[in-house]
């Protein structure tokens, strides 16, 4: 049972006999998490648990935590990971408190855009240029287009993770898929940045 558990987090039969001193930083991090999970805890507090993990190990970790019967408290910038393993979301918005997010991470993006808008309003000393009706319509169309694109990218990322899970033991296939996942994540970040900027413009009108 323990051998199978170790294998799910990337430690093959041969790797399980490797001295700890010979492990890389990422492997030691995986070893710590493996030992923790093997102890059968009721509560896990994880701070950026996906750092230093390869795609294959990350997929296994998501499967394990998704079926974890206890309580998880996770801090992470990995949106896909959070949506996969968490049921309740709260945000730290820099005001010293926590904000409940009933609608999940989409609500966080909206709150952050509003917060950025409020900050820019305080720092401005002159009136803003009012956007014309046609410009507002164009921005709204662009915003809707971006939202559709973001949705497609998230679907592609999810499918990519599923493919990697399906081919978890095929290292050649995983190596082939990994650059595609990196590119999709870069596209996601770029689209979300554009969405926030346009949202700020519309909020300023």
Q: Which structural domain range is residue 189 located in?
A: 127-205
**pLDDT (tens digit, 9 = 90+) per residue, 2-47?**
555 566 566 666 665 567 566 665 666 667 777 777 777 888 888 8
Q: Is residue 15 assigned to a domain?
A: no
> Residue 164: its pLDDT value, please?
85
Q: Token pair 């051998």 is at which residue?
A: 3
Burial of 30 (0-12, 13-18, 19+ CB in 10 A): buried
Q: What is the pLDDT of residue 1?
A: 47
In a domain, 185, yes or no: yes
Which whole number is the average pLDDT over 195-201? Answer: 86
Query: How confident is the model at residue 149, as a pLDDT?
Result: 92
**Domain annotation covers residue 113:** no
- pLDDT per residue as tens digits for the range 88-135: 998 887 777 788 888 888 888 888 788 777 666 655 544 445 677 888
Pairwise pLDDT comparison (157 vs 130), residue with the higher score = 157
Residue indicated by tokens 């940045």: 193
Note whether residue 115 is domain-resident: no
Please report which confidence band the pLDDT of residue 201 belongs to, taking 50, 70 and 90 as the band edges.
confident
**Residue 52 within any structural domain of the chain:** no
Of the two residues 86 and 26, the one the predictor is more confident about is: 86
State the burial class of residue 24 (Cβ atoms within 10 Å of its Cβ: 0-12, 13-18, 19+). exposed
Tens-place pLDDT, residues 115-127: 777 666 655 544 4
pLDDT of 27 reads 66
Number of domains comprising the chain:
1
162-196 tens-digit pLDDT:
888 888 888 888 888 888 889 998 999 999 999 98
Q: What torsion do the CA atoms of 84, 88, 93, 94 make, to the nearest 10 degrees?
A: -100
Give the confidence band of 137 by pLDDT, cuts at 50, 70, 90. Answer: confident
């Amino acid at each position: 049972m323990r051998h199978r558990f170790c294998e799910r987090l990337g430690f093959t039969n041969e790797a399980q006999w490797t001295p700890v001193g010979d492990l890389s930083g990422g492997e030691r991090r995986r070893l710590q998490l493996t030992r923790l999970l093997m102890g059968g805890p009721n509560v896990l507090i994880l701070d950026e648990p996906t750092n230093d993990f390869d795609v294959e190990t990350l997929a296994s970790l998501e499967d394990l935590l998704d079926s974890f019967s206890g309580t998880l408290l996770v801090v992470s910038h990995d949106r896909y990971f959070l949506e996969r393993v968490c049921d309740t979301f709260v945000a730290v918005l820099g005001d010293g408190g926590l904000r409940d997010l009933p609608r999940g991470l989409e609500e966080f993006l909206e709150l952050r855009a509003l917060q950025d808008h409020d900050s820019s309003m305080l720092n401005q000393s002159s009136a803003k240029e009012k956007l014309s009706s046609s410009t507002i319509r164009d921005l709204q169309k662009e915003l809707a287009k971006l939202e559709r694109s973001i949705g497609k990218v998230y679907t592609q990322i999810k499918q990519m993770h599923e493919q990697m899970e399906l081919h978890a033991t095929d290292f050649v296939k995983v190596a082939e898929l990994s650059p595609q996942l990196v590119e999709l994540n870069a596209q996601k970040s770029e689209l979300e940045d554009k969405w926030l900027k346009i949202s700020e413009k519309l909020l300023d009108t």
